[in-house]
């Protein structure tokens, strides 16, 4: 027994260390992202934000954490107790489990000894596993909504279920383009394929895929333009209405973990991962190079996180039919179009940067939808149109 342990120890400790890093940093990050989000929200709204606890309010996150741990655990009488308890755990577990195949620093596609910035290096279906696992988090939400035995919670859960199913499709479609270009589902290899000059990054020749991916990934995180499952104005609190204290925090943490996952995926798949102009070569073992690349990756990820937070304060929430038509009439056709173009470019060996022209499809699509919108909205009052949509002239006849 001990001998076996000794034998596998060289390959065991890097995995344990990586798990340790993820298990410590994800809750910490979730805690501090609430703080950063509040600060950013304050900046956007010309306020100051939390500034009382500690210097610049930096300990606010800690205070929030302590407060929420010490809260009374209230379990409503009408809930299905077992499901009620496993729902938040499922939610967070799915969110954290998706991080297993996520390189959070530079990882060489070749297997190497020592500490690696990934829990399971060299998984050939890494990306697929990540998508599969992270869509499990819909389970947590649906279970939570159902167990709450509350109409509004169930509405929120059903909404989010429909939203997840709809947005999985464009998400997958946009990823297939990237996967086809790199010829691998292994995230390390997808990043390695974007090495060299910075115009090899996927964003510069698949901008359409980035747009589709980012939009649908944002919808998967259930965050503000897409947070119909918990919209306060209609559904009280949505699926987490009946949750409080630490169970609520688990849902919350899952959401923030999703944001981190999405940001990492966007950076890795489209923004060249740990590559940067001047830092383009394959991953070497030197500590300095590794550290520099890790910093580059983290910087890219934090910029994307900041962008997601900024989006929250610039865009209003979708109506549910708008949400569905965006996925089915907008993103899925665009995703299919992108896939077709990638296939044509790869099969006929056309220089791949011609693909950047696919961005024009976005403009074309936007123009078509604009034409439609204009024809429905820009009808003069004299035609008898009321805000309710009743046609006065017709009803008078």
| Residue 132 CB, nearest approach to other proteins (Å) | 30
The minimum distance between CB 41 and other proteins, in angstroms, equals 10
Cβ contacts of 368 within 8 Å, gap of 6 or more: none
What's the distance, CA 165 to chain centroid? 15
Query: At its nearest, how many Å lie between other proteins and the CB of residue 371?
Result: 8
Cα separation, 268 vs 202, in Å, equals 9
For residue 130 the two structure tokens come to 């990540």
Choose between 48 and 299: whose C-beta lies nearer to other proteins: 48
Give the footprint of other proteins on this chain (CB under 8 A).
40, 42-48, 310-311, 313-315, 362-363, 366-367, 369-371, 373-374, 377-378, 380-382
**Contact predicate 242/150, CB 8 Å:** yes
Q: Which two tokens stand for residue 204?
A: 């510069």
CB of 367 to other proteins, least distance (A): 6
Shortest gap between Cβ of 207 and other proteins (angstroms)?
Answer: 12
Of the two residues 17 and 311, which places its CB atom closer to other proteins in the complex?
311
Shortest CB 369 distance to other proteins, Å: 7
Q: How far is the CB of 48 from other proteins (least distance, A)?
A: 4
- Output the 3-class SS for 40-96: HHHHHCCCCCCCCCCHHHCCHHHHHHHHHHCCCCCCCCCCCHHHHHHHHHHHHHHHH
Exposure string for 182-205, b = 16+ CB within 10 A, e = fewer: bebbbbbbbbbbbbeebebbbbbb
CB of 70 or CB of 363, closer to other proteins: 363
Compute the radius of gyration of the chain from its Cα atoms.
23
DSSP 8-state secondary structure symbol assigned to residue 350: -
Nearer to other proteins, 99 or 211 (CB): 211
Give whichever of 47 and 151 is closer to other proteins, judged by the CB atom.
Answer: 47
Q: Both tokens of residue 177?
A: 């383009």
Q: What's the CA gap between 371 and 149, in Å, rounded? A: 44
Under a CB-based contact definition with an 8 Å cutoff, are residues 103 and 188 in contact?
Answer: yes
**Quick one: the chain helix, strand, coil %, rounded to 5?**
70, 0, 25
* Shortest Å distance, C-beta 310 to other proteins: 5
What's the min distance (Å) between Cβ of 377 and other proteins?
A: 5
CA 3: distance to chain centroid?
A: 43
- Nearer to other proteins by Cβ, of 46 and 394: the residue is 46
**288 vs 316, beta carbon nearer other proteins:** 316
Burial of 76 (0-12, 13-18, 19+ CB in 10 A): middle
**Consecutive H or E run containing 260:** helix 245-270
Q: 391 forms bridges with which residues in the sheet? A: 385
Which residue number, 42 or 63, has a Cβ lying nearer to other proteins? 42
Question: In whole angstroms, what is the distance from residue 110 CA to residue 105 CA?
Answer: 15
Give the shortest CB-381-to-other proteins separation in angstroms: 4
Structure tokens that stand for 279 in this block: 């830092």
In the DSSP assignment, the letter for residue 221 is: T
- Which is closer to other proteins, CB of 197 or CB of 368? 368
Q: How far is the CB of 43 from other proteins (least distance, A)?
A: 4
Q: Which is nearer to other proteins, 128 or 362 (CB)?
A: 362
**Which CB, 348 or 363, lies closer to other proteins?**
363
Q: What are phi and psi of 391, to 5 degrees?
A: -90, 110
């Amino acid at each position: 027994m001990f001998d076996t342990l000794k034998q596998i120890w060289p390959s065991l400790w890097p995995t344990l260390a990586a798990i340790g890093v993820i298990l410590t940093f994800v809750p910490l990050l979730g805690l501090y992202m609430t703080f950063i989000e509040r600060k950013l929200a304050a900046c956007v709204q010309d306020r100051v934000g939390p500034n009382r606890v500690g210097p610049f309010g930096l300990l606010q996150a800690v205070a929030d954490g302590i407060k929420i741990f010490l809260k009374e655990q209230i379990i409503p009488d009408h809930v299905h107790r077992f499901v009620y308890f496993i729902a938040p755990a499922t939610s967070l577990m799915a969110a954290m489990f998706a991080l297993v195949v996520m390189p959070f620093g530079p990882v060489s596609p070749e297997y190497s000894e020592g500490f690696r910035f990934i829990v399971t290096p060299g998984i050939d279906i890494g990306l697929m596993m990540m998508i599969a696992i992270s869509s499990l988090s819909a389970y947590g939400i649906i279970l939570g909504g159902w167990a709450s035995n509350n109409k509004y919670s169930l509405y929120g859960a059903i909404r989010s279920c429909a939203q997840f199913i709809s947005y999985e499709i464009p998400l997958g479609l946009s990823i297939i383009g990237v996967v086809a270009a790199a010829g691998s589902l292994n995230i390390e290899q997808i990043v390695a394929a974007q090495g060299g000059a910075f115009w090899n990054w996927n964003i510069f020749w698949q901008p359409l895929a980035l747009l589709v991916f980012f939009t649908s990934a944002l919808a998967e995180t259930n965050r503000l333009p897409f947070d119909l499952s918990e919209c306060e104005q209609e559904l009280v609190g949505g699926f987490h209405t009946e949750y409080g204290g630490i169970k609520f925090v688990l849902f919350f943490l899952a959401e923030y973990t999703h944001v981190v996952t999405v940001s990492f995926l966007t950076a890795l798949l489209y923004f060249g991962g740990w590559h940067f102009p001047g830092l383009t070569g394959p991953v070497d073992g030197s500590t300095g190079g590794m550290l520099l690349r890790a910093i580059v990756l983290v910087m890219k990820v934090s910029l994307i996180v900041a962008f997601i937070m900024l989006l929250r304060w610039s865009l209003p929430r979708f109506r549910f039919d708008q949400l569905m038509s965006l996925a089915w009439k907008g993103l899925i056709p665009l995703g299919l179009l992108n896939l077709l173009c990638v296939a044509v470019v790869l099969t006929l060996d056309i220089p791949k940067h011609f693909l950047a022209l696919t961005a024009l499809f976005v403009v074309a699509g936007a123009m078509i939808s604009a034409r439609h919108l204009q024809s429905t909205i820009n009808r003069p009052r004299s035609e008898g149109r009321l805000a309710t949509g009743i046609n006065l002239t017709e009803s008078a006849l």
